[in-house]
Amino acid sequence: DTEVTQTPKHLVMGMTNKKSLKCEQHMGHRAMYWYKQKAKKPPELMFVYSYEKLSINESVPSRFSPECPNSSLLNLHLHALQPEDSALYLCASSQGGQSGNTIYFGEGSWLTVV
């Protein structure tokens, strides 16, 4: 069982909707991540927060907006998405920064954009 909790597990949204994905960890980790994964592909990094500050944005379109309210929580706000944004969105955390630390993943949120 993972100690990174993601909600909701499944989300269907229209292209004009605004929704949010939520992630929580209580392992005291100071780095949190959002990855996007399409079917039969590896996870692709979207954002990294380190000590509650955005440290990496992998040129993600602005229709994806991350937010880190505190060291335990990470949100991904979604607005005006496209059908091609349908994917599994994985949240993860690690003890420190990003340089090769073991990352702990949540079970993911399946997003379908219609």
Partner 1 sequence: SQQGEEDPQALSIQEGENATMNCSYKTSINNLQWYRQNSGRGLVHLILIRSNEREKHSGRLRVTLDTSKKSSSLLITASRAADTASYFCATAVLGDTGRRALTFGSGTRLQVQP
Nearer to partner 1, 26 or 58 (CB): 58
Does 28 participate in binding partner 1 (rule CB under 8 A)?
Answer: no
Total chain residues near partner 1 (CB under 8 A): 30
Does 112 participate in binding partner 1 (rule CB under 8 A)?
Answer: no
CB of 4 to partner 1, least distance (A): 8
Burial of 7 (0-12, 13-18, 19+ CB in 10 A): middle
Among 12, 14, 38, 58, binds partner 1 (CB under 8 A): 58
- Of 4, 1, 27, give the one whose Cα is nearest residue 89: 4
User: 91 pairs with which residues across the strands?
Assistant: 34
List contacts with partner 1 (CB under 8 A). 2, 4, 33, 40-43, 45, 48, 55-59, 88, 90, 92, 97-108, 110
